[in-house]
Amino acid sequence: MALTAPLFASMSFDYLIAGGGTAGLAVGARLIENPSVKVGVIEAGINHIDDSKILTPLDLFLLFNNPQHDWAYNSTPQVNLNDWVVTQARGKGLGGSSSINFQALTFASRNDIDDWKRLGNDGWSYNDLVPYYKKFEDYQPPPSDVAKDASAEYINASANGDGGPIRGSFAPFYNDIQKAWTPTYQNLGIGADGDMRDGIALGGYTNRMSQNQEDHTRSYAGNRYYKPNAREPGLKLPTEARVNNIIFNKKTNGGFLTAIGLNFTVNGKHYIVNTKKEVIISAGTIESPKILELSGIGNPQILDKYGVPVLLANKAVGENLQDHPQLGVTNQVNDGVITQDQYFNKTYQDAARILYETNRTGPLTSVVTQHAPLSWAQMLSPDKKNRPQDMVNQYLSGPYNSSVVACLSSMNWSNSG
């Protein structure tokens, strides 16, 4: 029987999840490990988990600004960027942004994660999260030739996951620049300082990708969390259904709001589905605060402006969005050196496509495969270690102070050197 919107709305659930993306599908799959639990997941995008453009690693560039795969949000004009409008790519469909990301499988250092606990978030220290890091991953060691090209000797296999849903493996193809990456950092004395899964993510290294080693296709929430559970009786998931707001019990429980359901839309018609236990909002960085605000949770000044009744005042909702600062770097190389620029050549593209489709290797298997998280102490000479603070002091009173501070803050800069 097809899962229609009226049928879904008539069902009884223990948990409702708004968003069938990276986290929503993982949470849903974990919850139904208890066979007595009923979970409903509502996803606004479509089901395209077998789409070859998603599965082929380097085809991700065909997904950006594609209305079937990318919500392609635009920011308001940014005053501190000369009114530049910034596009925010967000995955549209089952798997969310894990269906369009660069597949880089990287991990933060212990100190960065422990900062979460130091901020008052019990249960979110590095040691608390290690078991879950291992639980989600299935590390697949590379063949010897790939390990050599990837300079993968830094890997500590025992620190990585075994048997989890998301595959972690190395791409089988590296161009000349990619092969030179890790040796270059080693020659500079800032090579990988062990496996990042040991808690120290420093130095230049070739990272794993969320990729199935047997066929070098994308491994993501859609095909690794949802697909194996799609026919489980405890999981129901309508697609092309957009959550509008949370339904709350009109009676307060000791002054607290109690979520009892979700209002969602399919083909312009509204439906309400109820839950006996919890509503989980997992709609992504942009849609999650939007749902909260449309539900009456947010800054009263904003909610009043748009006629949304305030149920819970919280000025933090929808604020403080931060993104990675990104700069383009161009390198001049000698004739004959193979780089990704060759991919813009039609003949090279066609040859790469044939290579991938026939034996699952070649340039289409490889996306972002190199990283180099570095401290200021590694990047700056002793006589320049105060330069970041000098930059802040110089521009603090200028017209672009907010963007400078935000940029330095997002790089976790501190005055400790």
Rounded CA-CA distance 38/8 in Å is 12
User: What's the DSSP call for residue 222?
Assistant: I
Rounded CA-CA distance 200/89 in Å is 29
Rounded CA-CA distance 387/148 in Å is 38
Tokens of 324: 């990675």
Tokens of 210: 């969320």
Q: Which residues are annotated as a binding site for FAD?
A: 243
Q: Which residues are annotated as a binding site?
A: 243
Conformation bin of residue 296: beta by default, left when phi > 0, alpha when psi is -120 to 50: left
In the 3-class helix/strand/coil scheme, how is 130-154 assigned residue by residue?
HHHHHHHEEECCCCHHHHHHCCHHH
Rounded to whole angstroms, what are the CA distances from 388 to 244, 348, 383?
44, 43, 12
Rounded CA-CA distance 270/263 in Å is 7
Non-local (6+) Cβ contacts of 118 within 8 A are none
Helix locations, 150-194, DSSP H: 176-187
HSE toward the beta carbon, residue 59, CA cutoff 13 A? 17
Report the SS3 class of residue 26: helix
Which residue is associated with the tokens 């496996």? 195
Rounded to whole angstroms, what are the CA distances from 18 to 61, 121, 273, 408?
27, 23, 11, 33
Report the SS3 class of residue 239: coil
DSSP H helix total and E strand total for the chain: 14, 16
Hey, what's the torsion of the CAs at 361, 362, 367, 370, to 10 degrees?
100
Rounded to whole angstroms, what are the CA distances from 330 to 86, 340, 341, 349, 379?
22, 12, 11, 21, 19
H or E element in which residue 15 lies: strand 13-18
Residue type, 31: L
Rounded CA-CA distance 171/180 in Å is 15
Residue type, 71: W
